[in-house]
Chain A
Amino acid sequence: MEAVLFYIISAIILGTGMAAVASRHMMRSVIFLLFALLALAGLYFLVDFNFLGAVQLTVYAGGIVVLIIFSVLLIHHIESKLSEASKSRKWMSALLSLGGAIAFIYVIIQNVFPAYAESTTTTTKTVGEKLLDYGEGGFILPFEVISILLLASMIGAIVIAKGEPKQTIKANEE
């Protein structure tokens, strides 16, 4: 039963991924991305990674995609069709990606992974404990670093998006 579900969800992921990449409408591309991310979250729920699935939904689908939609709306001409790369370029890229994929899959298939019958899952409780654990195997340091990184990126984004101060205000004041 889960296997079938897995296949369906994977199909959705790959399908919407391809549509996101190939679509010529900006908005449709973003929405397809949204669906891909939602399906991915579903995949996480399938393997009992509830916290991760929730984070994926919240941050990715709720945060990043919204951010992208904001930027899409800020750029004008949103309704016009996007320009495409040249046919040769598309074919070459497709060939390349396909070639790379085949190479990797070839290696993957050759490998036989040992299977665990018994599985334990990582609960939210464990995640929380490990995040703030400053003992052996704790993740307190990356946690703090991530918070600084987020602060920095917030400041950076504000500075970059602000641009240069307008000259006309000064002229008006004089």
Chain B
Amino acid sequence: MIPGIGLNEVLIVSTLLFFIGVYGFITRTNLISMLISVELCLNAAVLNFVFINKYLYPDKPEGVMYALFIIAVAAAETALVVAIIVNLYKKINSVEVHDMDTLKY
């Protein structure tokens, strides 16, 4: 625990980070930028896990473990996303979101 900082401030930070990620996800037009925004969201979640563990349940290891797993899964997912982006780029030669609307009306 950090002396002088309550849990509320930390949670505020993580919330703000999460919503910055959400803003990026629904605003950006490039797939890779969307990926970056998703990473920010995930990191905000990890922050949440870690600090609640630290402040409210300091003797349990669960928070850190879950954080580790989240990081591992995020890595796997990023790898797959990059593979998809590369394949898609080979097909339609673009990574802009508005070029990928085949499932439209």
Contact = CB atoms under 8 A, between A and B. Distances in A.
A87 B1 CA distance: 42
Interface in A14-53: 14, 17-18, 20-22, 26, 29-30, 33, 36-37, 40, 43-44, 46-47, 49, 51-52
A56 B72 contact: no
Contacts of A26: 30, 32-33
Interface residues of B, number: 70
A64 B75 contact: yes
Given A75-B89, A100-B22, A63 B75 contact: yes
Q: Which interface class (under 10, 10 to 19, 20 to 34, 35 or more) fits A?
A: 35 or more
Given A21-B37, A40-B47, A47-B54, A2 B2 contact: yes
Contacts of B53: 122
Contacts of B85: 71, 75
A67 B28 contact: no
A130 B73 contact: no
Contact of A163 (B7, B15, B47, B87): B87
Contact of B65 (A98, A113, A139): A139
Given A14-B20, A30-B36, A89-B27, A156 B80 contact: yes
Given A10-B13, A97-B19, A131-B65, A149 B76 contact: yes
Contacts of A64: 39, 74-75, 78
A172 interface: no
5 contacts: A17-B20, A36-B43, A49-B54, A60-B74, A85-B28
Closest 4 CB pairs of A and B: A21-B24, A3-B4, A153-B76, A157-B83
